[in-house]
Structure 1
C-alpha cells in the first residue's frame, strides 16, 4: 500500500470491506477532506455542509466480517494525514 510506504508503515487507521464493492475507508479528521480536488473514483463521506454519510467501523477485536482493520488505530487522536492521502490517491488514480 502506497500510504504505508509514504508513512514508514504507520498511515493511521484504515478499514477495509471484504464484500460488495470492497471499499477502503481512510479515517481522517472531521472536515479535513472537504474542498479538496479528489480524483475520480474517490468517494468522500461527510465532506460538506448538509451532507450525510457514515463510515462503518469494525470492533478492535473479534469477528466483524465483512469489515476489518487494515491498519488499526494506534493512539487516540491519530488519523490518516489528508494531504498525504490526497497525493497518494492522485498518484494512483490520476
Structure 2
C-alpha cells in the first residue's frame, strides 16, 4: 500500500466530499446487492477491485470509484446512481480517510495505488448479472 501522500485525494482524517469528474466518478449501488457486487469484483480481480466505499447507515450505499467519464454511454440497471460531472451537473462523492473515525463510511476495499480504480466495464457486467 502506498502512503497517504501518494493518494492525494484521500482526506487525512474524517470524511470529505470529492467533486466527481476530477480524480474519479462513482457508481452507487444500495444495500446488500452493492456489497455482493463488490465482493464478486474482488474475487474476479484477485482481491484488488479498486477503491470501494460503503456506508453503514441509510440506504447502506456502496460507492465504486471509477475513471472519469467511464460511466457514460453504458446501459446501467435502474438501481444504480451515477456520480458524474457535466454541463449543468455537479456530483459529490463521500470519501473516508484511510484511518481514524470515519463512521458511517468505511473502505470495503482500500485504494492501493494512484490511478487504480474500479474497472467500469467489469462493474457494469457484474451489475447486469445480478438482475
- Using the size of structure 1 for normalisation, the TM-score is 0.93
Mapping of residues 1-94 of structure 1, within 5 Å = 1-46=39-84, 48-92=86-130, 94=131
* Structure 2: gaps of 5 or more residues: 1-38
Number of aligned positions between the proteins: 93
* Structure 1: gaps of 5 or more residues: none
Q: What do you get for the CA RMSD once the two structures are aligned?
A: 1.1
Query: Which consecutive segments of 4 or more residues in structure 1 shift more than 2 A?
Result: 47-50
Rounded Cα–Cα distance in structure 1 between residues aligned with 2:78 and 2:50 = 23
- Using the size of structure 2 for normalisation, the TM-score is 0.68
